[in-house]
Structure 1
Amino acid sequence: MSSASPPEYHATAQRPEWSVLPARLRTAVAARLGAPVVQATTASAGFTRGFAALLHTADGHRAFVKAAPHAEQPHLVDWYAREAAILNRLPAGLPVPRPHWSLWEAGWYVLCLDAIDGHTPRLPWAQVELSATLTAFADVAEALADPPAELTALGLPRLSDLARDDILWWGEVAAGREPVPPLPAPARGRLAELVALESRLPGYAAASTGLTHGDLRVDNVLIDTAGAAWFCDWSWLCQGPAWFDLVTLLITGYAGGLDVDSRFAAHPAAAGAPDDALDVTLAALAGYHLTASTSAPPTASTHLPAHQRWTGEQALAWLSHRRAWA
């Protein structure tokens, strides 16, 4: 296990405050909420620069609102609109904030969601919060194993294609098209093995007929006041195996010294996974994050490279430990 400290995931966001949004936009949002906004608490987790805040209105209601300007952040507008379409079609009863409405005003797209009274889990994980998260994710994975037709009709991307296009980077490093990222001693000289491992991910992902969240990080989890877990930010839902999400979630557990190997093996989402699915995913994620950490788009939080570097390091450390690389 690496001794590096994890990012402060509850405080990574760099977002505009409610008060600096265009007046026309604030007026339109208040009109849809049905009362003036008297308090706005900006979301402190996440890595985009989009507006996201818990809004309190004069009549005592609350709502979580996301917004982005199309001219400056068209990708965020696309993500928020895609999330709205997905959330409207997810099976009922899942621990997922549901959308209330969306609107365009002053060149901004706005999405209003349920307000969840909760907090981002702190690292290292509290055992009770990780257990609650894994239990809730089992329900999500079961519901998405055979997704409703209205959801798949959205034409969701395939994880197998995303892997080939954007996730697999060790092959690029081996070919000399990307620089070799800093590697810990156990992983040095293992480039051929890393390439071989990551190359299996597209085939494994293509065999799945279910759906995967695609971005199940600790900052996309909320623990509510009753101790139950909720899952947020559904823009990256795609066709793929649930065990991929399980790995992305458990990387932070490995960093905290927890027995994540047994948690992966025992989780329903890992049932039927190829024997080396965990190692294959760790290899792919290590290469992706370590390569991506060398730069960040100007529309992202400046904390993003640190998150990617730390995540890549933890994925590689976990993989090295599992494969007894010394």
Structure 2
Amino acid sequence: MSPPSLPPVPYHASALRPSWPSLPAALREAVADRLGAPVVTARVAGAGFTRGFAAVLGTADGGRAFVKAAPSAEQPHLVDWYAREAAILDRLPVDLPAPRPRWTLSEAGWFVLCTDAVDGHTPRLPWAPAELEATLAGYATVAAALADPPAELTTLGLPHLADLARSDILWWEEVAAGREPAPVLPTPARGRLPELVALESRLPRYATAATGLIHGDLRVDNVLIDAQGQAWFCDWTWICSGPAWFDLAGLLLTAYAGGLDADRLFAAHPVTAGAPPDALDATLAALAGYYLTGAAAAPPTASPHLPAHQRWSGEQALDWLARRQGWA
């Protein structure tokens, strides 16, 4: 096992969000009206990489709810994401460990999504064994439930991972063709651009055959561990058709970084049954290129911690891949 490598900023403190008092008064009044009582507490979410408002709100009558909000003029992409997530949450199987939606509203130029509040915390790194076990078991449940997608979800016209890979995830070919600046590579991966291009190119082909749905953005900051030790999965904006082992590989980057035997964890998980032998390698190559090139082009509306986290994630993916490939 390798010595642990921690992210540059803890995942539970990666966000930069507005406070509840800083929101427009008309918006706060509209939210309180929908909640049915004045808001007396607001615990802003520390995890995530957007600048949207996100907090657990407590009301004077003892109620609790989780609220996301974004301004239409300044962050139209977040408004689109929150509206999309609202439609997805409303159609997820009700027994999945995911927050249940309550309502949406538009007020004072802002869009708001309200869900049930999950009383939990972002897993700390390095992973505590019980929290990792709960997360892996929870994702097995999610993957099994979405292996045969509910009709109400598929009618949303969800994208396919194979298409997303070609349009947004695969970047080594762009680097090789000179259409994208080359990121600085760690020593084991230098001179390996042809291999990286070849490996990432397999991902769309492997993903095409998948018929189930996956979370599509499974990272530590999208997981909550509740008081009973159960894992909950949040931020469902990027759900798509694809193989569940893609989600698993992305999640296990932090297990690898923590010095755990991520190869064993990947191979032992039920979602990898029937996966191509090099599915993990293709995914790691793709994720490494996606994160390392993205670190140089993070949008100004994102958290200022995003570029450093992308670089760290890309380096972990590349280091794991280099070890698996035996690159000196």
Which of 279, 282, 285 lines up with 2:284 in the alignment? 282
SS state at 1:29 partner? helix
> 1:40 and 2:42 equivalent?
yes
Q: CA deviation at 1:188?
A: 1.1
Q: Which runs of 5+ in 2 are unaligned?
A: none
1:251–1:311 contact (8 Å) kept in structure 2: yes
Which residue identity does 2:219 align to in structure 1? R
Which residue identity does 2:209 align to in structure 1? A
Q: CA deviation at 1:26?
A: 0.4
TM-score, normalised by the number of residues in structure 1: 0.98
Q: Provide the rounded CA distance (Å) in 2 between the counterparts of 1:152 and 1:248.
A: 24
Matched with 1:141 is 143
1:159–1:240 contact (8 Å) kept in structure 2: yes
Q: CA deviation at 1:89?
A: 0.6
Paired residues in the alignment total: 326
TM-score, normalised by the number of residues in structure 2: 0.98
Matched with 1:70 is 72
Matched with 2:85 is 83
Matched with 1:25 is 27
Q: CA deviation at 1:150?
A: 0.6
1:2–1:314 contact (8 Å) kept in structure 2: no
- Deviation digits for residues 249-285 of structure 1 (CA, Å, limit 9, x no counterpart): 0000000011111111111111111110000000000
Matched with 2:187 is 185
Q: CA deviation at 1:92?
A: 2.1
Matched with 1:5 is 6
Q: CA deviation at 1:178?
A: 1.6
Matched with 1:294 is 296
Which of 52, 55, 59 lines up with 1:53 in the alignment? 55
Which residue identity does 1:300 align to in structure 2? A
Q: Provide the rounded CA distance (Å) in 2 between the counterparts of 1:180 and 1:91.
A: 42
Q: CA deviation at 1:295?
A: 2.6
SS state at 1:81 partner? helix
2:4–2:259 contact (8 Å) kept in structure 1: no
> 1:311 and 2:313 equivalent?
yes
2:99–2:118 contact (8 Å) kept in structure 1: yes
Matched with 1:109 is 111
> 1:153 and 2:133 equivalent?
no
2:4–2:126 contact (8 Å) kept in structure 1: no
Runs of 4+ residues over 4 Å off in structure 1: 1-4
Which of 239, 242, 254 lines up with 2:241 in the alignment? 239
